[in-house]
Structure 1
Amino acid sequence: MAASSLSMNDFLTRFQLLQPSAPSISGNKRQAAVLVPVVRRPQPGLLLTQRSAMLRKHAGQVAFPGGAVDDSDESLIAAALREAWEEVAIPPDSVEVIGTLPPVDSATGFRVTPVVGIIPPNLPWRACEDEVAAVFEMPLVEALTLGRYHPLDIHRRGNAHRVWLSWYQHYFVWGMTAGIIRELALQTGVEA
């Protein structure tokens, strides 16, 4: 598929992810979940945030809304929806969850499950000022262009680790967020 356009129907048709069977909260690592919000438009967008510079961890980084699972969360999907509500005021009942990506282990000891959901185009974003400095939308066709992600191999604690780097406008997208977007591109088969 050419990178010039990608309709919502094209995306949903190509979406080859695991349908959510309510991924379980288990394992030795602390669990977290992020919402990967795809904005329903004729040419869909991908909603991203830039974390507040005042945060202790990952300050200023581009991210998806999300965070650690709370005891009150019924599932990883519920955690992602709760965090999206808290961080950018996306009402949980406005999200059409269409699948999940494989969990990713973070450098901070979390196992993060990306939850992919479709959201309406007319939601009034309200960033939680304590956590989010900016909310922005990237065209999905641009986000899913594999050629925009560049590998960087680093060594941490004696282990080789690959991170992905990219830019969108003045936003530097890297690390787990870039890796999740790249995985979404691989799962949907969109090529540039």
Structure 2
Amino acid sequence: MTKSEFLSQFHHLRVTYSEPDFPLKKTGRPAAVLIPLIDYGNSLQLLLTERAHHLKHHPGQISFPGGAVDETDNSFFAAALREAEEEVGLPSTHVDVIGMLPKYRTISGYEIAPVVGFVDPDFTPVIDKNEVESAFEVPLAHVLDRKNHLVHNTHRNNKTFPIYFIPWQHRMIWGATAAMLRNLSHHIHP
């Protein structure tokens, strides 16, 4: 998939299916992540991070650059870009933000705004080892292909909730990150 093919599918007026998220009893803590797409001309790659192994919450989990919205952030877009710069050294001047997917609520009490943007292919990650163990790229076509998605249903309070998994080489993309990629897949390939 090229950048122009992605944009023609991303900017449509159809209402698309979204995966069920966690039904919070109150408004979730605002957070934002960047879905960073690197345009190599003939293909798009997705930049993901592996969270640092010493973190208290979700150590080693595969995620997008992102985090909680700060008081200094004037929008979800600003929060996603700030977090990407803090975690992987991605300057906001190297990102062309094109939009946002529907917010996704998590069992940990966050309401995450997934911001989508194209990243300059000349960008080289500079990892903040306090937050990120590593950064790596995955072909966007792989994570958007729902044939590569695995679904496991779990039960909580007599309700069933899906947990999504997307294997990639020796890594497993799962949880909220996989669910947001699944929503992007529904948006691009309804």
TM-score relative to the length of structure 2:
0.89
**Structure 1 contact 34–115 (Cα < 8 Å) conserved:** yes
Match of 1:38 in 2: 37
Instruction: Extract unaligned runs of 5+ from structure 2.
Output: 14-25
What SS does the aligned partner of 1:143 have? helix
Alignment-derived partner of residue 22 in structure 1: none
- Show the counterpart of 1:187: 187
Per-residue Cα deviation, 1:122-165 (whole angstroms, up to 9, x for no partner):
10101110111110000111121111111111112443211111
- RMSD (Å) for aligned C-alpha atoms: 1.5
| Cα distance in structure 2, aligned partners of 1:17 and 1:157 | 37
Separation in 2 of the partners of 1:93 and 1:157?
A: 45
- Cα gap change, 1:67 to 1:53, in 2 (>3 Å): same
Question: Is contact 1:149-1:165 (8 Å) kept?
Answer: yes
Q: Distance in 1 between matches of 2:91 and 2:158?
A: 42
Deviations 1:72-100 (Å, cap 9, x if unpaired)? 00011100000000000110122111111
- Does the CA contact (< 8 Å) of 1:17 and 1:101 recur in 2? no
Q: Does 1:15 align with 2:21?
A: no
Alignment of 1:16-165 (within 5 A): 16=11, 28-42=27-41, 43-165=43-165
Give the 3-state SS of the residue equivalent to 1:78 in structure 2. Answer: helix
List structure 1 segments (4+ residues) > 4 angstroms apart after TM superposition. Answer: none
Secondary structure at the aligned position of 2:123 is classed as: coil
How far apart in 1 are the matches of 2:163 and 2:57? 17
Q: Distance in 1 between matches of 2:173 and 2:45?
A: 15
Aligned residue type for 2:89? A
- Corresponding letter in the other structure for 1:127: I
Distance of 1:60 and 1:162 partners within structure 2: 21
Cα deviation for residue 9 of structure 1 reads 1.2
SS at match of 2:30: strand
Cα separation, 2, equivalents of 1:141 and 1:47: 13
SS across alignment from 1:112: strand
Unaligned ranges ≥5, structure 1: 1-5, 19-26
Taking the aligned partners of 1:77 and 1:152, their CA distance within structure 2 comes to 31
**SS at the partner of 1:187?**
helix
1:115 partner amino acid: V
User: Partner of 1:182: helix, strand, or coil?
Assistant: helix
Looking at structure 2, the residues matched to 159 and 108 of structure 1 have their Cα atoms a distance apart, in angstroms, of 17
